[in-house]
């Protein structure tokens, strides 16, 4: 009797989705404003508590099937996690800073460069670990029906895997990127669990490779078009008698160049969005939990509207809108996230994983998110 | 049969995912949970987890996933027996939002003021011996790049002695790196880079620059920058994220300008006391402005070596400091100056190294 269907009834007018976001921006506004105020007067320290409040609201306004999610992470634990990571990283960074200065003063530019390279590789490795741990922490603080997720893996091996897979993508001029990203998605989610059940993910690169290559193609095409049109504009203007043979009037030429370059970037951005839209549909669509399957319905146009909306909001509010982006992004994700299948509540018991205590300290040290 | 001090809610016990209807009641003034089968359980270790429009959420210490949701508003008697609502965070909830903002503002101002003035206050307290050890470890022999052409170092020492007779707080060396600059490094190490000598038109110009760097050492500007770099900058930047980082960058630039103009004033006084004209230094700064970008890579790596703002005001300050009827003597003799200018060129070891490098 306790089987919960993710999409129990398929009415014509109601979208079949296990997830529903019921938040309202008027409720979020006082949270965001007081968070901003407290973050400023504490020189930024309150940002951990701000994040906890924000998530508590967003999670509690997200229904999965019959009940809401609950975020139980606290600002204090995130602050402590951050301090612990800083206590480990700061001496290393200080030592390297001193060491590199001493090497430069001694004229050892080569050794100094190697030390800096090692520092960056180390940081890149830690960013991989941080990504894994942030996801693990968030699952371990996310409850549904009193049950949480988690992972027993520490993420050190994942860090190496991410390092060499991104290096492989790098040496192939980025061509392997879809492979790197889908593999790493699978590795992350295959290590995660919710309650007694393990997540499974087996995303492949089918359909992603073409979209990835399209970014290159679109970039080249836009560059050629840009060069050709600016050349023609100069020539054409030079030929008209009233231009006096000196090309376009300067302001007009500046505008043409500005619009051309803007167009070039726009083409790249849209081509990239087309890839990432496909990536998330593929990755989330290949992820399972016990009897549940997931899917993500956001298409390139949806992502574009989200980003344009975000930019518009920030510009119109002169930057204050930044505090609203987490709300918009979460609402977007929940609007497009769907689940199908069923889950047996009698068998859904508490997660046996150890509750993560590092509280995404590593991730906040690098200021990155979990996805 | 809901009573005045009872509320219906639901519970997840954190063991299974089954939702249970429960009632919360007061027994002897303490909250007790009553299950639908009549079982009761006293609620100890209760903490407030969340408040929203129409519900209150409580958890229990040490019970993973235990979650009690009650409707809002609760009867007053019941509310009083439960933990205070959790909104902003424990400390802020205790004193209220307004007082918390005021307190935060006050503490932040103290911290910022501390960050601005503490390095300045602490710098004179750092023993010179410590700083010297740090400086030696940092600088070493400058990768063997010190120039030692015959007579050059003696000329430089003579110039330093003329500016500061009997001073022992600093030493001056010429480094074989082709940039037009000079720097005061931790431990009283003043270095003049090769190309500065080539660019200078005479010893008086070098005297002005040297006077400026000596002032940095004596005023403990380098020590102060060291403290700032190692200590507060790092603490504020890491604790405060972007807000604190911006504040710190602001402090750093303000400090930089003050220290530079102070050092200029001290250099002018030094030149006057030594009977050297300040006017050539003004001309030198004008030429230096064009060369400033050449510091490049070295400048990036060394946060605290002298950031030299070359402004019209700076040149004017040196220019106007010249007294019309004063009798100025050249800072060095012709012979000394020639030895100093060619200190790297005449050093066989440096010549060899440069050939090997090229």
Closest-approach residue (CA) in chain B for A353: B64
Chain A closest-CA separation from residue B138 CA (Å): 5
Chain B closest-CA separation from residue A4 CA (Å): 11
CA distances from B8 to B28, B37, B55, B71 (A): 19, 14, 11, 7
> Exposed, middle or buried, B97 (CB in 10 Å: 0-12/13-18/19+)?
middle
Dump pLDDT digits (tens) for B26-73: 888 889 999 999 899 998 889 888 887 788 999 998 889 999 999 988
CB contact under 8 A, A350 and B15: yes
Task: Tell me the count of A-B CB pairs closer than 8 A.
Answer: 142
Chain A closest-CA separation from residue B165 CA (Å): 29
pTM: 0.78
The larger pLDDT score, comparing residue A228 to residue B49, is at B49
Q: Where are the strands (E) in chain B, listed by range?
A: 6-12, 20-27, 30-35, 40-42, 46-51, 55-60, 67-71, 171-175, 182-185, 189-193
CB contact under 8 A, A45 and B239: yes
> What are the structure tokens assigned to A198, written together?
């393990």
d(CA B287, CA B337): 20
- Please give the pLDDT value at position A83: 85
d(CA B5, CA B316): 83
Q: What residues in A contact B243, CB-CB < 8 Å?
A: 39-40, 43-44
Facing A105 at nearest CB: one of B52, B138, B241: B138
Facing B104 at nearest CB: one of A41, A105, A145: A41
d(CA B165, CA B146): 24
Which of A86-95, A293-302, B167-176, B339-348 shows the lowest mean pLDDT across its residues?
Answer: A86-95
- Please give the pLDDT value at position A12: 39
Chain B closest-CA separation from residue A21 CA (Å): 15
Q: In a mutagenesis test of the B interface, which of A22, A44, A51 is the best target, namely the one with the most B β-carbons within 10 Å?
A: A44
Closest-approach residue (CA) in chain B for A37: B101
Dump pLDDT digits (tens) for A257-272: 778 788 888 899 999 9
Q: Under a CB-based contact definition with an 8 Å cutoff, are residues A366 and A50 in contact?
A: no
Q: Where are the strands (E) in A223-312, listed by range?
A: 287-289, 292-296
Chain B closest-CA separation from residue A220 CA (Å): 33
Facing B49 at nearest CB: one of A72, A195, A345: A72
User: Any idea where the domains of chain A sit in the sequence?
Assistant: 19-366
ipTM value for the complex: 0.79
Dump pLDDT digits (tens) for A4-22: 666 544 333 444 578 999 9
d(CA B55, CA B53): 6
Q: Max CA-CA distance within chain A?
A: 86
CB contact under 8 A, B57 and A70: yes
- Please give the pLDDT value at position B234: 60
Facing A44 at nearest CB: one of B139, B234, B243: B243
CB contact under 8 A, A45 and B89: no
Could you tell me the sign of the dihedral formed by the alpha carbons of A298, A299, A302, A306, in that order? positive
Q: What residues in A contact B297, CB-CB < 8 Å?
A: 104, 109
Dump pLDDT digits (tens) for A162-178: 999 999 999 999 999 99
Dump pLDDT digits (tens) for A43-70: 888 999 999 999 999 999 999 998 999 9
- Please give the pLDDT value at position B311: 58
């Amino acid at each position: 009797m306790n089987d919960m269907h993710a999409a129990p009834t398929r009415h014509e007018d109601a979208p079949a989705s296990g997830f529903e976001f019921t938040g309202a921006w008027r409720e979020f506004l006082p949270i965001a404003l007081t968070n901003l105020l407290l973050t400023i007067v504490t020189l930024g320290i309150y940002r951990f508590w701000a994040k906890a409040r924000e998530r508590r609201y967003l999670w509690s306004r997200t229904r999965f099937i019959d009940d809401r999610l609950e975020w139980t992470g606290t600002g204090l634990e995130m602050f402590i996690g951050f301090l612990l990571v800083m206590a480990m990283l700061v001496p290393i960074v200080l030592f390297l800073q001193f060491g590199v200065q001493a090497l430069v003063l001694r004229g050892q530019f080569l050794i100094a460069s190697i030390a800096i390279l090692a520092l960056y590789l180390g940081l890149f490795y830690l960013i991989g670990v941080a990504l894994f741990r942030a996801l693990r922490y968030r699952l371990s603080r996310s409850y549904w029906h009193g049950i949480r997720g988690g992972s027993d893996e520490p993420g050190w091996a994942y860090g190496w895997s991410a390092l060499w897979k991104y290096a492989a993508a790098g040496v192939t001029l980025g061509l392997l990127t879809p492979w790197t990203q889908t593999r790493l998605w699978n590795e992350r989610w295959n290590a995660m669990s919710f309650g007694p059940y393990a997540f499974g993910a087996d995303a492949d690169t089918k359909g992603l490779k073409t979209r990835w290559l399209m970014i290159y193609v679109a970039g080249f095409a836009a560059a050629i078009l840009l060069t050709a049109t600016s050349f023609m504009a100069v020539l054409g203007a030079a030929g008209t008698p009233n231009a006096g043979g000196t090309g376009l009037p300067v302001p007009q030429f500046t505008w043409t160049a500005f619009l051309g370059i803007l167009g070039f970037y726009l083409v790249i951005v849209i081509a990239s969005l087309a890839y990432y839209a496909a990536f998330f549909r593929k990755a989330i669509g290949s992820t399972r939990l016990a009897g549940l399957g997931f899917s993500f319905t956001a298409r390139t146009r949806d992502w574009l509207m989200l980003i344009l909306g975000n930019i518009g909001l920030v510009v119109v509010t002169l930057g204050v809108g930044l505090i609203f982006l987490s709300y918009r992004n979460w609402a977007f994700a929940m609007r497009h996230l769907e689940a199908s299948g069923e889950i047996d509540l009698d068998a859904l018991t508490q997660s046996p994983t150890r509750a993560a205590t590092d509280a995404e300290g590593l991730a906040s040290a690098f200021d990155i998110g979990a996805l | 049969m809901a009573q005045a001090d009872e509320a219906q809610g639901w519970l997840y016990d954190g063991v299974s995912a089954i939702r249970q209807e429960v009632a919360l009641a007061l027994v002897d003034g303490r909250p007790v949970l009553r299950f639908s089968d009549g079982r009761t359980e006293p609620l100890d270790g209760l903490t407030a987890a969340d408040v929203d429009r129409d519900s209150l959420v409580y958890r229990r210490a040490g019970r993973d996933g235990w979650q009690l949701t009650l409707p809002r508003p609760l009867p007053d008697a019941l509310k009083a027996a439960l933990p205070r609502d959790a909104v902003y965070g424990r400390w802020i909830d205790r004193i209220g939002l307004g007082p918390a903002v005021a307190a935060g503002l006050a503490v932040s101002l103290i911290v910022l003021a501390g960050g601005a003035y503490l390095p300045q206050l602490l710098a004179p307290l750092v023993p010179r011996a410590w700083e010297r050890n740090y400086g030696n470890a940092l600088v070493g022999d400058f990768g063997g790049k010190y120039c030692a052409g015959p007579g050059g170092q003696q000329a430089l020492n003579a110039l330093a002695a003329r500016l500061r007779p009997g001073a022992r707080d600093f030493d001056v060396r010429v480094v074989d790196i082709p940039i037009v600059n000079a720097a005061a490094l931790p431990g009283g190490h003043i270095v003049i880079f090769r190309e500065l000598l080539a660019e200078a038109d005479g010893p008086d110009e070098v005297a002005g620059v040297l006077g400026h760097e000596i002032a940095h050492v004596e005023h403990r500007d380098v020590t102060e920058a060291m403290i700032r770099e190692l200590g507060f900058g790092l603490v504020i930047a890491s604790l405060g994220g972007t807000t604190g980082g911006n504040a710190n960058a602001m402090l750093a630039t303000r400090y930089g300008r003050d220290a530079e103009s102070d050092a200029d004033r001290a250099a002018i006084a030094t030149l006057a006391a030594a009977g050297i004209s300040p006017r050539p230094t003004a001309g030198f700064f004008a030429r230096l402005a064009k060369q400033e970008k050449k510091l490049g890579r070295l400048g990036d790596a060394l946060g605290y070596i002298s950031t030299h703002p070359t402004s019209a005001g700076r040149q004017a300050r040196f220019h106007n400091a010249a007294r019309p009827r004063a009798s100025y003597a050249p800072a060095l003799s012709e012979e000394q100056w020639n030895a100093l200018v060619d200190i790297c060129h005449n050093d066989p070891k440096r010549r060899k190294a440069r050939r090997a490098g090229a």
